[in-house]
Amino acid sequence: MVGAAELTPIYRKKTPFASNPFESSARKTEPLERERGERAHKRKIYCHLDMRGLKLLDRFTSTQVHAVNPIETSNGKSFGGVSRAKFNSHLIKSFGSNSKPKKSSSVSVAEALLLPYGVPATDLLEPSIDPHLKPSDFVENLADLYHRLEGCSSHSERSLLCVQQYSLLGGLGDPKLLRRCLQSARQNAADVHDKVVLSAWLRFERREDELVGMAALDCGGQVLECPKVALVSGVDPNSVSGHCQCGEDAANAVSVPFFEGSECVGLDEEESDVSFCIGDEEIYCRRCKIASLSSPFEAMLYGCFKESKKGRIDLSENGMSVKGMRAVEVYSRTRRLDLFSPEIVVELLSFANRFCCEEMKSACDAYLASLVDNVDDALVLIEYGLEEMAYLLVAACLQVLLRELPSSLHNPKAMKFLCSSKVRERLAMAGYGFLLYYFLSHVAMEESMVSNTTVMLLERLEECATQRWQKTLVLHQLGCVLLERRQYKDAQFRFLAAAEAGHVYSVAGVARTKYKQGQQYSAYKLMSSIINEYKPAGWMYQERALYNIGKEKILDLSTATDLDPTLSFPYKYRAVANFEEKQIRAAILEIDKVVRFKLSPDCIELRAWFFIALEDYESALRDIRVLLTLEPNYMMFHGKVSGDYLVGLLSLRVKQLSEAECWMQLYDQWSSVDDIGSLAIIHQMLGHNPRKSLLQFRQSLLLLRLNCQKAAMRSLRLARNNSGSEHERLVYEGWILYDTGNREEALAKAEKSMHIQRSFEAFFLKAYALADANLDSEASSHVVQLLEEALRCPSDGLRKGQALNNLGSIYVDCGKLDKAADCYKSALDIKHTRAHQGLARVYHLKNQRKAAYDEITMLIEKAQSNASAYEKRSEYSDPEMAKNDLNMASQLDPFRTYPYRYRAAVLMDEQRETEAIEELTRAISFKPDLQMLHLRAAFYESIGDLSSALRDCQAALCMDPNHTDTIDLYNRARD
């Protein structure tokens, strides 16, 4: 056994270059090499904690994305009896001077801004019900799902299990984890109807609809997202890493031979041996050619039917037009469809169905499918496809509708079609069921939780649900939507049905609907019974607090925070309670606790509200700018005032900076690691130059550091759309691809950009993407060369500092400590404060522990965001100081997992196994994490509890099936 001091990294392979030198400090840290005194023997390795890496990756600090629960909005036209126009006029007069008024005037201004909307009140606060599945035993559910995935041999069944995995992991909010589930589902999908939905879903997750110049049916080069490949039945095991060649194969979409001359025109009487009459018209044909179309025709023309003896056959009663029958004759000889209009091909499809001409039907189906390229055509042709059971045509039409999402949600014809119960039944005959409506309702809920479209799509999804988890999911989601729509009785019915199906969290929805209907005591009793019956969780006490009063309410909220420190509502409630007691600074300090680790719009809005009341308009303006960066269309004050309007209003009270002053302030904020302040400055700069792609790119970097990946991707797409040159556009496209897991495509974009023009960002992108793999000495040398080339290209100090910091990380991994130190010092010279962490690492590797401690202390003193610095400093401290630093890191950011793992390892080191496991269990309850699950599995194995070890291994592998250390542990425990 080894102690906490000798723990080796969970992810790092034991090679000098096994890690990405640009990896995030929240994901990779260095091994502790702290002296622990003389020990009789080395203990068995229990976990793989890594504090060595803290390389301060300059693009990310973590992979979490946290749920945002904005304050409920309303569309009222007047507030507090004051009309919008009159109130706005009053505010403009109040804020009309750039000079700060006297205090008495200032107080009236703050009151004028806040009072008409109602100041924040504890009675009006309530947390939203999470629409995702939240099992009472999340780890057990993950383990069971992995067990079923492991034993599944059917591709279709495995694909559906991956969709279930997506629904189960949805509450974690990790987009990369969710994307991996969708990719696995798409890779295993064998049927066209599943492939069409999943490829469109993957495209939607990338939001390529927001990229200027990208059409719905454009292929980005990934096989899993290619619209043409989706229309081909069967499973390609190499599809995950495959590159699409659909551009080269476009000509083969409908394979037809080429004919010339008379073969492409109708026959005359001399050439034919049979004719078909439609009304007064006669169509001359060759008997053998018509007979070859189907068995029924062959029997009719050559069998015992009387038509076999006739030279003239009447088809007037079969619904064919003359043009249609002439087309049948031409097709019988040429097997060509491109000679005819789509209307004629539709008629041929109907003819083929009536007379069992399977080859003709397949050709018509494929040909019509190849013609669908817009929503209007899709809505027309899908009706024919369903009527004639031309399911490839149906797939092509649905594919267009799905790849146009979310815009097609706002097409009345499209939604009238898809929301119809009868259409759902017809689509079910074509193979479309739960998966289709799961995707549609997922998009609809993202667009609006309260729209009629969302409700109707969820109702169709409810009709499709067959398995228990499917019914539970849709019932719970319908309950959430109906609750938002204030249809409390209907919502209660759905929540109750979900709870009866085994989803305990839905009981919170039942309690909430009771409360909304005036049954507060009933809601309180219900939540109390849940707390008594099940293992207590933070959300249970949070929900009961709504129905409690006095000290018991505060106690419930404190218990909720103890059990789950990541819940926002308890902090918000305590902050507003302080505000009501006129303790505004205490309110700000309380809400700061959650803003430090979860940058959610509702918390930022609340803090801005407090700053206005405190007359600190500069800080309020900063927060509103950050809020608009997260959600550009955000409506403040209960949805009654646009954020942009408040920015304009508050700007009258705050000194405006020139562009040069903004850049200087951005450098200062960047150097103090104040990412929130930096976001506000960039938002202000974009107000003067909204199409500045460089600023939008900087914005995306900051948002990634703050774990706001959805907003970061939006900024990155804007940077791509507003890029002023081809080589710049390629770089931003490369980052989009890299951030969505397409590393090889990102490298190709970087190469293409460099061929057009050498630039800092192109070299940096290529170096970053290359460093994402295990680096040997040759690969590390190549990355060093790329970063050195980047530093020779023009750029600003912000990016140069990042490149120097990353170059230092590569040198450290190569063992070139002096060169690494030079890089970090050069980065510090241009105010890249994060380089203190890398330099401390160099001192530590040189056994200069005091210098390392002092260096990281300088970072703590300078940085506004310093949870990772406290975590890192624990490596260079004595055990008691290390404990204090790690407690501070947990307090600043409870999402950071290293402190829990370290404390558990220390307890295990002291042979306090039960306490060690409990330390991890408490953290896993609110932050299920691969590393903590792996570590707990190792602890269970060491004490002989192999069933628990197997369960944790399975849960961890459900999150990452390729994690080698967990696979090894899992195999050991099984054997």
Looking at residue 826, what is its pLDDT? 94
Going by DSSP bridges, is the β-strand pair 281-285/274-278 parallel, antiparallel, or unpaired?
antiparallel
Report helix, strand and coil shares of the chain as percent, to nearest 5: 65, 5, 30
Measure the CA–CA gap between 382 and 391, rounded to whole angstroms.
9
The values of phi and psi at residue 552, to 5°, are -65, -35
Q: Give exposure, 512-533, as e/b (b: 16+ Cβ within 10 Å).
A: bbbbbeebbeebbebbeebbee
* Angular region, 234: left φ>0, alpha ψ -120 to 50, beta rest: left
Measure the CA–CA gap between 576 and 122, rounded to whole angstroms.
6
DSSP structure string for 366-412? HHHHHH--SHHHHHHHHHHHHHTT-HHHHHHHHHHHHHTTTGGGG-H
Report residues of the chain scoring pLDDT below 70.
1-118, 237-242, 245-270
Looking at residue 457, what is its pLDDT? 97
Measured N-to-C along each axis, helices 103-114 and 601-613 cross at an angle, to the nearest 10 degrees, of 150
Burial group, residue 248, by CB count within 10 angstroms (0-12, 13-18, 19+): exposed
C-alpha distances in Å from residue 388, one per residue of 352, 399, 429, 503: 9, 18, 12, 42
Query: Cis bond leading into 632, ω under 30°?
Result: no
247 neighbors 219 (Cβ within 8 angstroms): yes
Measure the CA–CA gap between 112 and 650, rounded to whole angstroms.
13
Domain 274-370 grouped into CATH 3.40.50.261: no
Going by DSSP bridges, is the β-strand pair 312-314/274-278 parallel, antiparallel, or unpaired?
parallel
Looking at residue 115, what is its pLDDT? 55
> CB count, 10 Å around CB of 466?
8
Strand partners, 243: 222
What three-state secondary structure class fits 527?
Answer: helix
Looking at residue 444, what is its pLDDT? 96
Measure the CA–CA gap between 536 and 907, rounded to whole angstroms.
24
390 neighbors 365 (Cβ within 8 angstroms): yes
pLDDT, tens digit (0-9, with 9 covering 90-100), for 662-701: 999 999 998 889 999 999 999 999 988 888 899 999 999 9
Residue whose pair of structure tokens reads 């696995």 in the numeric block: 184
Measure the CA–CA gap between 312 and 13, rounded to whole angstroms.
81
Measure the CA–CA gap between 771 and 761, rounded to whole angstroms.
15
Measure the CA–CA gap between 686 and 850, rounded to whole angstroms.
44
Determine which helix (DSSP H) or strand (DSSP E) holds 332, and give its type and residue range.
helix 322-334
Looking at residue 87, what is its pLDDT? 42
What tokens appear for 678 in the block?
A: 């930096």
pLDDT, tens digit (0-9, with 9 covering 90-100), for 597-647: 999 999 999 999 999 888 899 999 999 999 999 999 998 887 888 888 889
- pTM summary value: 0.86
CA torsion through residues 492, 496, 499, 501, sign: negative
* Angular region, 673: left φ>0, alpha ψ -120 to 50, beta rest: left
Measure the CA–CA gap between 195 and 836, rounded to whole angstroms.
49
Looking at residue 113, what is its pLDDT? 62
Longest dimension (CA), the chain: 109
Strand partners, 282: 277
User: Domain limits of the chain?
Assistant: 274-370
Determine the distance from the C-alpha atom of residue 487 to the mean position of all C-alpha atoms in its chain, rounded to a whole number.
Answer: 29
220 neighbors 208 (Cβ within 8 angstroms): yes
